[in-house]
Structure 1
Amino acid sequence: METFAAVAPDRDPYTSLAVLHELEDEDVRSGVYTAFDGASELLHGLPPGSWALVTSNYAHRVRGRFLRTRLPIPEVIVDAAAVEQGKPSPAPYLLAAERFGVTPEHCLVVEDAPSGVQAGLRAGMTVWNVNTPVAVDEAHRHFESLRDAVSDVLAFVSGG
């Protein structure tokens, strides 16, 4: 709502949000998607039930996009409907950890957005920043691409 008020102050933010939802749902049905380089290798390499997706979007869109890119669908999705406060609040990542029954210090967050990096750090998790040319402040590690992070993420998950 804050973004709509800032970029389109002459329009009703609720109407703008409804239009955005319609556009996104249509995009899930008809859009062309390509997974990030390394995503398939990473997600197929992770043990089932060991990873979650934390998103400011909605689970039905995530599932649709993952299906279209032939990526495995996460068993745990924490979406915008699951929490009252999204990133940079730690709430979404803490809920994901709770759903797995693990403590935050045993979690690895792989993030491409500054608000997500902050959320993971505030949750007390290890945070690796990917897909940015410059590291997001305070991230524990930085990789310019997801592809560059794959072997390190798989090693982290396996305890290596």
Structure 2
Amino acid sequence: MTSDFAQPRSGKYVLFDVDGTLIDAVDNQRRVWRTWAGRYGLDADAVYQVALRTRPMETFAAVVPDRDPGECLSALHELEDEDVRSGVYAAFDGASELLSALPSGCWGLVTSNYEHRVRGRFARTGLPVPSVLVDAAAVEEGKPSPVPYLLAAERLGAEPEDCLVIEDAPSGVESGLRAGMTVWGVNAPVAVDGAHRHFGSLREAVPDILVFATGAHRESAV
């Protein structure tokens, strides 16, 4: 006996954040910011706490207002690229099963990172890369603006109300909500404000995400 999910129902799409949602990169991000802070003689923990809440250029303005932000960003990018090449990465439990089960053309990635890093991390963790990937270079306004998720929907040919966003962070949840999409939170001990549903782990959410995408529970065939 074999079990397979039904084919996608027309007009239902899933949009995933990457870091913290599909890829466990917390230790990597902490290490990169610790090294970056060391270069500028700053307290690493204090810098990381700011970085968690703001985008890089905003972080630089807060912690090194007297330094050239372009120089700061170049240093950060250098460290992040090196981490993609040499860091240790892991996909969250359930990520591979989930992405492999989703029919092509019904899902995409929306990340505040850059495409080459996402592809590098996915290659190292064995995750498939979809045809639609909206990264930081694709938009002028990042999360929590709705622009990234709206662009992903446009590229998929989807209406916002037919999209499910999977996120782990407040800025991403806000972005999805402002785009008029259904938003589920994963991989956090408590629910992010505004999320329509919350799952403690990605693994817990896998069956429900697949049901949303296919419109049916598992179908069994002998």
In the alignment, what sits opposite 1:29?
85
1:49 Cα offset (Å): 1.8
Residue number in structure 2 paired with 1:123: 179
Q: CA deviation at 1:70?
A: 0.4
How many residue pairs match? The answer is: 160
**Structure-1 separation of matches of 2:114 and 2:90:** 19
Paired residue type of 1:56: S
The CA distance in 2 between the partners of 1:151 and 1:45, in whole Å, is 10
Cα displacement (A) at 1:3: 1.0
Render the CA deviation track for 1:83-107: whole Å, top value 9, x for unaligned. Answer: 1100000000000000011100000
What CA distance in whole angstroms lies between the structure 2 residues aligned with 1:45 and 1:108?
Answer: 16
Question: How far, CA to CA, are the matches of 2:162 and 2:105 in structure 1?
Answer: 15
In the alignment, the residues of structure 2 paired with residue 34 and residue 9 of structure 1 have an alpha-carbon distance, to the nearest angstrom, of: 35
* Cα distance in 2 for residues equivalent to 1:59 and 1:49: 18
The Cα RMSD (Å) is 0.9
1:57 and 2:113 aligned? yes
**Identical pairs, percent:** 76
Give the alignment's TM-score, normalised by structure 2: 0.71
- Does 1:17 pair with 2:109? no
In structure 2, the partner of 1:70 is 126
Q: Trace 1:1-160 onto structure 2 (pairs within 5 A).
A: 1-160=57-216
Q: Tell me whether 8-17 or 74-83 shows the greater mean CA deviation.
A: 8-17
In the TM superposition, residue 50 of structure 1 has moved relative to its aligned partner by 1.3
- SS of 1:81 mapped into structure 2: helix
Instruction: List runs of 5+ in structure 1 lacking aligned partners.
Output: none
Secondary structure at the aligned position of 1:74 is classed as coil
Q: Return the alpha-carbon distance in structure 2 between the equivalents of residues 133 and 44 of structure 1.
A: 26
Structure with the larger RCO, 1 or 2 (CA within 8 Å, 6+ apart): 2
Structure 2: where are the runs of 5+ without partners? 1-56, 217-222
Q: Which amino acid aligns with 1:40?
A: S
TM-score under structure 1 normalisation?
Answer: 0.97
Higher alpha-carbon Rg: 2
